[in-house]
Amino acid sequence: MMLNCKQASELMSQAMDMRLPFGKRMPLKLHVLMCSGCSNFMLQISFLRKASSRFGTSHYCETMCLSDEAKNRIQKALETEEAR
């Protein structure tokens, strides 16, 4: 089975989340060995995973995480509700 880059990138994306069956792993390995674009893509999505897991806990998450002020405010509301 000869893969094109689109198919290879789909398999690389799946491989981030599950172990691919042997029949897909081998053609993927061959393709990535021969294709610098896809081997770069593999590095890119591993980096994305690293950055994303860091993002959730980092103080760099500004617009997309609850701010400390919001957290405090919500915490107070919860305490009030629990005390009722």
Among 19, 21, 62, 68, contact with other proteins (rule: CB under 8 A): 62
If one asks whether residue 73 binds other proteins (CB under 8 A), the answer comes out as yes
What secondary structure does DSSP assign to 11-57, as a single string? HHHHHTTSPPPHHHHHHHHHHHHH-HHHHHHHHHHHHHHHHHHHHHH
If one asks whether residue 56 binds other proteins (CB under 8 A), the answer comes out as yes
Query: Based on CB atoms, which residue is closest to other proteins, 18 or 22?
Result: 18
Cβ of 8: how many Cβ atoms within 10 Å? 22
If one asks whether residue 26 binds other proteins (CB under 8 A), the answer comes out as no
Q: Report the alpha-carbon distance of residue 66 to residue 72 in Å, rounded.
A: 10
- Residues binding other proteins (CB under 8 A): 4-7, 9-10, 13-14, 16-18, 36-38, 40-41, 43-45, 47-56, 58, 60-67, 70-71, 73-75, 77-78, 81-82
